[in-house]
């Protein structure tokens, strides 16, 4: 079972059930049927700090991914910690599906390229 912990610190209303549904559907399609995932919606100022501290770029962005286990082997009995996807609704706008799919695919080890773009399109509609 995939356990999703979702937190909204953005100050705007977001479709939390929709985000959980999309994440579960994408992860299952990628062969991940158990693990722990965090999704956070944050305001622009928090996203700017995260991008500055982790990537050295002082600007807000739509999505950041912080992978932990991804597809790596985990010890027997230890739950898979997929990692966290952080989205900024103020940057994303109304269409959060593509950035969420993008962030989830990064957690699973995808790099920018055609395979990633194809999967993003499949799950962002």
Q: What is the pLDDT of residues 15-61, one digit of tens each?
A: 999 999 999 999 999 999 889 999 999 999 999 999 999 999 999 99
Render pLDDT for 3-19 as a digit per residue (tens, 0 to 9): 999 999 999 999 999 99
Render pLDDT for 96-116 as a digit per residue (tens, 0 to 9): 899 999 999 999 999 888 888
CA 8/CA 87 separation, integer angstroms:
9
In the chain, domain spans: 2-123
pTM above 0.85, yes or no: yes
Q: What CATH number is given for 2-123 in this structure?
A: 3.40.390.30
Quickly count: other Cβ atoms within 10 Å of residue 86's Cβ. Answer: 24
């Amino acid at each position: 079972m995939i356990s999703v912990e979702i937190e909204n610190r953005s100050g705007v209303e977001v479709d939390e059930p929709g985000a959980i549904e999309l994440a579960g559907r994408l992860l299952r399609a990628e062969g991940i049927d158990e693990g722990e995932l965090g999704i956070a919606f944050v305001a622009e100022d928090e996203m700017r700090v995260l991008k500055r501290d982790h990537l050295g770029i002082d600007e807000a962005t739509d999505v950041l991914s912080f992978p932990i286990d991804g597809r790596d082997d985990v010890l027997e009995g230890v739950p898979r910690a997929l990692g966290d996807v952080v989205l900024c609704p103020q940057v994303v706008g109304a269409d959060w599906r593509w950035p969420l799919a993008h962030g989830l695919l990064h957690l699973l080890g995808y790099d920018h390229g055609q395979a990633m773009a194809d999967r993003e399109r499949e799950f962002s509609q």
